[in-house]
Amino acid sequence: MNETDARNALLLRAYETAPPAQTDGRWNADDRLWATQAALQREGAGASTAAFIARRARLAAERLCAREPGAGFVLRALAWRAWIGWAFALLAFVAGVATDAIGPAQRINVLAPPLLALLAWNLLVYAAMLARVLTRRRDGVPGQDTLARLIARALRAIALGRGIERLAPPLAGFARDWAVASARLSASRVARMLHAAAAALAAGALFGMYLRGFALEYRAGWESTFLDASAVHAILSFVLGPAAAISGIALPDAGALAAIRSNMSPGENAARWIHLYALTMALFVIVPRALMALAQFLVERRLANSFPLPLDDGYFQAIARAQHGVVAEVRVVPYSIRPGAQATAGLNTLLARVFGPRTELAIAPTVPFGAEDALDPALIPGAPLALVAALFALTATPERENHGAFIDALAARMPPATPFAVLIDESAFRQRFDASGAARREERRAAWRRMLTETGREPVFVDLEAQDCSEAERALRAQIESAPVRTGQD
């Protein structure tokens, strides 16, 4: 899946996971079914999941953009434009040419030419890059260049402009999702631009310096309040020594340096100093920065051609199941609660909206209060499932030693690569208390959250007997997508 396909897939996910009221009828269940069937006709059930998702998103994006002009605008705004990198490097080169890299009054102080500041800046950048690499290696965290991330964020903001404030909720969500998914690729592009611009700036400075040198004579000398000729010779040997060794241009000795001291002499023709500083800049700025830009370009091309979009969340797994005709098997284990027919229908509705219409719900026998230490081994099948959910009633007072222990015991018996969720049914609580019980309901919700925090999990509150389960759907989907894989060792 390339970058364009990944962007289309995330756009489609934003619309297909949004509440119907937010899509304004521009994308509905019939469109989802059409996209799946059209992709099946083109790719077939035997295609890879990534190829099928890419084809489906490509076809759907064409139809969606025809109905929703804002979708096309956002897709175009977030697409990378290759000319930006070239324009950035060209501007840097022009800036370098315009810079007087030697110094004013056609004189060059061999101890402090403007080129030396450019060299020092690049050496500081190399030191910062090395420190960042060592820090990442020590912490074991990949990380990214902070400056590159900031610039990438700024470019996205410029691309979208003030229009992002007027975007429909699905498009705003897509823009945020793409910013996260493409962060590594964007950082690589910006890093490549910065390296290329640094090399172009140095090259432009050298070009301008030589261009002026053909029409003007530059004189070289030095002056210092604290250094004598011997100290200056030592400094210049350290800075220009590699260039002198490669070029064969000899550095003057201490005696010759004393003869060109500015307060004693008009200096000498600056040609050899220009050559030495130019070669030094090439060695330590232009070549390294060009190689770094090339390395980032290769990383960028790899990421753009094989975009690292995770396909293991509930949404993409539902598409994969639709491609292969696989049913999404969901196991719900109630604890001290017996869901009735209406609550069971609510569970079916909620899970079908999360996993698609081919969802098969199995409700396990209710685990009595206090029986969490002796769970039936057959409570959960050994094969991977689309979801395992523990079901509680909001009317129950959460207790770590009972409800929390049940969650831990259930999670320990789950098959590998199976998402796990905690559902809290509010229907009985709402029936027991009228609208005046809203504050009490929030207190009970807070109690469940506090207890579940100790288990490292988030609750999904849902009224299984209500008609609208949009809030629970979003919460459950976000929970599955943020932690798509759980194992019995969690």
Share of the chain above pLDDT 90, in %: 42
* DSSP β-bridge partners for residue 420: 388
Residues 47 and 193 in one domain: yes
pLDDT in tens, 298-357: 999 999 999 999 887 778 877 888 888 888 889 999 999 999 999 999 999 998 888 877
Residues 181 and 36 in one domain: yes
**What is the SS3 assignment for 333?**
strand
Two tokens at 460? 């999904």
**What is the SS3 assignment for 82?**
coil
Q: Of 194, 211, 228, which marks where a domain is finished?
A: 211
pTM: 0.73
Is residue 177 pLDDT above 50, yes or no? yes
- Residue 170 falls within a domain, yes or no? yes
Share of the chain above pLDDT 70, in %: 89
Is residue 446 pLDDT above 90, yes or no? yes
**Residue 485's pLDDT band (cuts 50, 70, 90):** very low
Q: CA-to-CA distance for 368 and 406, rounded, in angstroms?
A: 10
pLDDT at 146: 62
Q: Of 211, 245, 280, which marks where a domain is finished?
A: 211
pLDDT at 435: 60
- Residue 247 falls within a domain, yes or no? no
Q: What is the C-alpha end-to-end distance of the chain, expressed in Å?
A: 31
- Residue 193 falls within a domain, yes or no? yes
**Residue 404's pLDDT band (cuts 50, 70, 90):** very high
- Residue 127 falls within a domain, yes or no? yes
Mean pLDDT of 414-420: 80
State which residues form the domain around 391: 327-482
Residues 6 or more apart in contact with residue 48 via CB below 8 angstroms: none
Is residue 449 pLDDT above 50, yes or no? yes
Whole-angstrom Cα Rg for the chain: 33
- Residue 461 falls within a domain, yes or no? yes
Residues 337 and 197 in one domain: no
**Residue 487's pLDDT band (cuts 50, 70, 90):** very low
- Residue 74 falls within a domain, yes or no? yes
**What is the SS3 assignment for 434?**
coil
Residues 374 and 409 sit within 8 Å (Cβ to Cβ): no
Mean pLDDT of the chain: 85
Two tokens at 241? 């020594």
**Residue 461's domain is classified under what CATH number?**
3.40.50.300
pLDDT at 456: 84
Residues 335 and 205 in one domain: no
Helices (H), 216-313: 229-247, 254-259, 271-281, 287-305
- Residue 274 falls within a domain, yes or no? no
Residues 284 and 122 sit within 8 Å (Cβ to Cβ): yes
Which range, of 80-84, 195-199, 431-435, averages the lowest pLDDT?
431-435
pLDDT at 26: 85
**What is the SS3 assignment for 267?**
coil
pLDDT at 103: 59
pLDDT in tens, 106-162: 778 888 777 888 899 999 999 988 888 787 655 444 445 565 666 666 666 665 655
Which range, of 153-157, 285-289, 457-461, averages the lowest pLDDT?
153-157
Two tokens at 90? 């060209």
Query: Structural domain tally of the chain?
Result: 2
pLDDT at 152: 63
- Residue 284 falls within a domain, yes or no? no
Is residue 488 pLDDT above 70, yes or no? no
Q: Of 211, 240, 263, which marks where a domain is finished?
A: 211
